[in-house]
């Protein structure tokens, strides 16, 4: 293999169906790969690296030796949670509070089916992450101000730990009352655990979720303990594989909040990786939006399993300020977690989602998925039920000989047989059934976009819509036509999330709960931020970055008095004065009305703060994207041929020109009906719609429908 000194940034994103990878060189050379996700995830990662290295005419060791940054988004944590394959986990809590997790949040309806949301007596309890027989109580009590009113009974703590070790637990969560105000008792319990069983995974609520809300804090800590050992084993094995293959830089792992941290540190905050891969796409959209001059973006990621929507407002991704329910699996919505995460909304509606008929005879899509194995019927791997991908093939959108750039051939006969089964049950012909699947998937996606924007008082017409993932570019003409006139399909849409992982900065979030009314006690207010910043800087020391690459970003959760939910508002650095506090109050009012509509703010109610947050950002090396000269190339040279393609607007098949997307250049413009084919993506251009190629070879679609 060729030897070279170019340094690379490598991003790998493991999805439920495909593992995506990208390698970007400082010489502006860029390659990407898409391989099926394997049961042994390490194998899929290595397979992806192998394809990247081959395209660069390198061996894997040569590529990794010159890799300046290796970052990884993973589904390990979320898969363990959904499949209930976490560690055998115990909980130690304050005496009298053994039933934290079982009682849950009795007044909360968010995330529940309507039948349960309107009648809390009918709520189905999820499988217990920590069963009651693995929950131990200890004598201790700290009050709301952090004052110890009952010293920890260390003998009872030792007995509790010994009982749990005797039961063979792999991990222990410790969540004591008001520990975020005074963590001394939790720290003592941790020392006892380490003394009794060295190496046992320990998760403290004062470290994982030092915030107000005893249930949320306990649930977050317990799930972190449940996932930590699983992620630790995975991270250790992957790090060993990478280092043995020549990697010399520190491998990084993506977090739900949109930044990366050293892979060795990730298991300590395993719960923060639940949306690891999903966050990558939003960060990539932010990065690309800055290049293209867009500050308001709706991100839409349609992969093989799910469809996710995020919002970038004024150049920054929306971050959840309040506790949230993880939208993974049938029961996880019943848990409420408190961990910084990009505000993403998801449904089980991707290319591999199964189409079925409900009791009323209506076609539904998802949330069940064919996954990577057996996959859609057209994969020919044993799947027999109709999926969105099968419908796309029947309608002529997909080229069976050019799936994944020709690396995989689709079986058109199997797709038609699967869709026909659904058609026969509906009493319609096969094409009508396929068109119904396509339409339902698009309608569900459009509804989710409305939920993420209109319900927040945001007008989607004022946003640019980014469409990516394996199926996003194919379906965006359907779900965007009533929402946004301008759609951007990134040139690397098929590996957009991997691109986001590769251009992410090191980031860690630190939060502190301290309730105070406005105008605030400035001494306490400034002291909270100073304390968080000191902790953040100490934690970032192992990053070994120069001081001018580190940035501290402050924010605070504010709300009107008696409201439940907060809005995060940015806070300037330095010591705040009374004038600064008033400016902060006005900023909240502006943010509130931007989010919920003009005139909705009610300043007479007064403001209160409870969540102080500091993010430390470590700028990483990033290669630049190549900008192309505008060209007047002959579009006829990019044509691959013609095929019959179904267009919803015409309700029929049209003879459609097929373009090779990799040969299109800056300035090329395509008028529909047309289809653009790329490795991993297909873009239909409907009649009356126009597709234009921009200087970075992204595709700008104007639907002409809004």
557 and 652 fall within a common domain: no
Domain termination site, one of 586, 618, 650: 618
pLDDT at residue 1 in the model:
45
- Could you give the percent of the chain with pLDDT greater than 70? 93
Does 515 map to a domain?
Answer: yes
Residue 114: predicted pLDDT: 58
In a domain, 672, yes or no: yes
Six-digit token string for 397 = 């959108």
Q: Is residue 662 part of a domain?
A: yes
In a domain, 626, yes or no: no
Assess if residue 527 is contained within a domain: yes
Q: Choose one of 591, 618, 645: the last residue of a domain.
A: 618
First to last CA, the chain: 52
Sign of CA dihedral 93, 98, 100, 102: positive
Decide if 360 is inside a domain. Answer: no
Lowest mean pLDDT among 105-109, 378-382, 494-498: 105-109
- In a shared domain, residues 562 and 601: yes
Task: Read off the pLDDT of residues 124-135 as tens digits, 9 standing for 90 and up.
Answer: 666 788 999 999
pLDDT tens sequence across 48-58: 999 999 999 99
Q: Is the pLDDT of residue 551 over 70?
A: yes
Residue 74 contacts residue 276 (beta carbons within 8 Å): yes
List the CATH number of the domain containing 561: 3.30.1490
* Number of domains the chain contains: 2
* Pair 597, 667 in one domain: no
Q: How many residues does the chain have?
A: 706
In this structure, the answer to whether residues 697 and 594 fall within a common structural domain is no
Q: Average pLDDT in the 280-285 region? A: 94
Where would I find the H helices in 167-256? 184-196, 205-208, 214-244
Same domain, 514 and 593: yes
> pTM for this structure?
0.87
Q: How confident is the model at residue 658 (pLDDT cuts 50, 70, 90)?
A: very high
614 and 517 both lie in a single domain: yes
Rounded Cα distance between 280 and 415, Å, is: 31
Predicted confidence at residue 371, as pLDDT, reads 74
Of 555, 589, 618, the residue at which a domain comes to its end is 618
In a domain, 646, yes or no: yes
Q: Are residues 571 and 650 in the same domain?
A: no
Segment 634-648 shows an average pLDDT of 92
Q: What pLDDT digit, counting tens, does each position of 320-351 carry?
A: 755 556 555 555 556 778 888 888 887 878 88
Same domain as 534, residue 601: yes
Interior angle at CA 267, CA 502 and CA 178, nearest 5: 120
Return the pLDDT at 215. 87
Q: State residue 706's pLDDT score.
A: 41
Provide the residue range defining the domain that includes 557. 506-618
Count CA atoms closer than 13 A to 51's CA, side-chain side. 18
Q: Would residue 490 count as lying in a domain?
A: no
Q: Answer yes or no: do 534 and 607 share one domain.
A: yes
């Amino acid at each position: 293999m060729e030897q070279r000194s170019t340094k690379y940034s490598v991003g790998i994103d493991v999805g439920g169906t495909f593992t995506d990878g990208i390698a970007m060189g400082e010489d502006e050379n860029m390659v990407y790969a898409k391989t099926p996700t394997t049961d042994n995830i390490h194998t899929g990662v290595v397979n992806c690296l192998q394809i990247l290295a081959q395209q660069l005419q390198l061996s894997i060791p040569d590529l990794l030796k010159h890799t300046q940054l290796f970052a990884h988004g993973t589904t390990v944590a979320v898969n363990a949670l959904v499949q209930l394959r976490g560690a055998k986990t115990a909980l130690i809590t304050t005496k009298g509070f053994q039933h934290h997790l079982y009682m849950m949040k009795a007044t909360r309806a968010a995330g529940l089916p309507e039948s349960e949301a309107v009648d809390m007596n009918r709520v189905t309890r999820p499988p217990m992450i920590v069963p009651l027989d693995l929950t131990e109580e200890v004598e201790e009590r700290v009050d709301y101000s952090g004052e110890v009113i009952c010293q920890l009974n260390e003998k009872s703590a030792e007995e509790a730990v010994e009982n749990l070790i005797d039961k063979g637990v792999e991990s222990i969560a410790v969540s004591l009352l008001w520990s975020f105000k005074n963590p001394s008792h939790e720290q003592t319990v941790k020392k006892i655990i380490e003394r009794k069983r060295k190496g046992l995974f320990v998760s403290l609520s004062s470290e994982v979720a030092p915030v107000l809300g005893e249930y949320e804090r306990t649930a977050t800590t317990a799930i972190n303990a449940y996932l930590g050992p699983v992620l630790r084993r995975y991270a250790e094995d992957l790090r060993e594989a990478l280092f043995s293959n020549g990697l010399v830089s520190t491998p990084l792992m993506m977090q739900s909040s949109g930044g990366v941290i050293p892979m060795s540190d990730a298991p300590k905050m395993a719960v923060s990786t639940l949306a690891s891969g999903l966050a990558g796409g939003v960060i990539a959209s932010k990065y690309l939006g800055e290049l293209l001059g867009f500050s308001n973006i709706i991100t839409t990621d349609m992969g093989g399993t799910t469809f996710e929507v995020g919002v970038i407002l004024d150049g920054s991704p929306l971050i959840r300020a309040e506790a949230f329910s993880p939208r993974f699996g049938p029961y996880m919505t019943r848990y409420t977690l408190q961990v910084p995460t990009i505000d993403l909304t998801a449904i089980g509606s991707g290319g591999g989602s199964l189409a079925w008929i409900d009791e009323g005879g209506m076609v539904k899509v998802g949330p069940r998925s064919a996954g990577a194995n057996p996959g859609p019927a057209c994969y020919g791997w044993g799947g027999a039920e109709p999926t969105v991908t099968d419908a796309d093939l029947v309608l002529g959108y997909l080229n069976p000989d050019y799936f994944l750039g020709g690396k995989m051939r689709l079986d058109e006969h199997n797709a038609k047989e699967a869709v026909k089964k659904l058609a026969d049950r509906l009493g319609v012909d096969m094409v009508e059934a396929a068109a119904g699947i396509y339409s339902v998937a698009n309608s569900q996606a459009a509804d989710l976009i409305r939920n993420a924007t209109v319900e927040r008082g945001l007008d989607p017409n004022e946003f640019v819509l980014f469409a990516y993932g394996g199926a996003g570019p194919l379906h965006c003409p359907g779900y965007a036509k009533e929402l946004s006139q301008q759609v951007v399909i990134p040139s690397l849409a098929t590996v957009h999330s991997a691109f986001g992982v590769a251009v992410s900065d090191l980031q860690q979030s630190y939060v502190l709960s301290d309730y105070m009314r406005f105008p605030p006690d400035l001494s306490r207010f400034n002291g909270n931020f100073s304390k968080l910043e000191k902790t953040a800087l100490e934690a970032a020391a192992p990053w070994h970055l120069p001081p001018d690459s580190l940035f501290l970003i402050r924010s605070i959760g504010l709300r009107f008095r008696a409201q439940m939910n907060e809005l995060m508002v940015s806070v300037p650095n330095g010591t705040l004065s009374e004038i600064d506090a008033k400016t902060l109050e006005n900023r909240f009012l502006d943010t509130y009305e931007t989010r919920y509509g003009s005139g909705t703010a009610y300043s007479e109610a007064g403001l209160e703060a409870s969540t102080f947050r500091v993010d430390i950002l470590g700028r990483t090396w990033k290669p630049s994207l190549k900008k192309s000269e505008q060209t007047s190339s002959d579009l006829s040279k990019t044509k691959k041929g013609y095929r019959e393609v179904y267009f919803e607007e015409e309700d029929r098949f049209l003879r459609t020109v097929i373009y090779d997307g990799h040969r299109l250049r800056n300035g090329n413009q395509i008028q529909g009906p047309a289809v653009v084919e790329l490795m991993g993506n297909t873009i239909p251009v409907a009649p009356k719609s126009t597709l234009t190629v921009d200087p970075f070879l992204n595709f700008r679609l104007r639907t002409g429908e809004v």
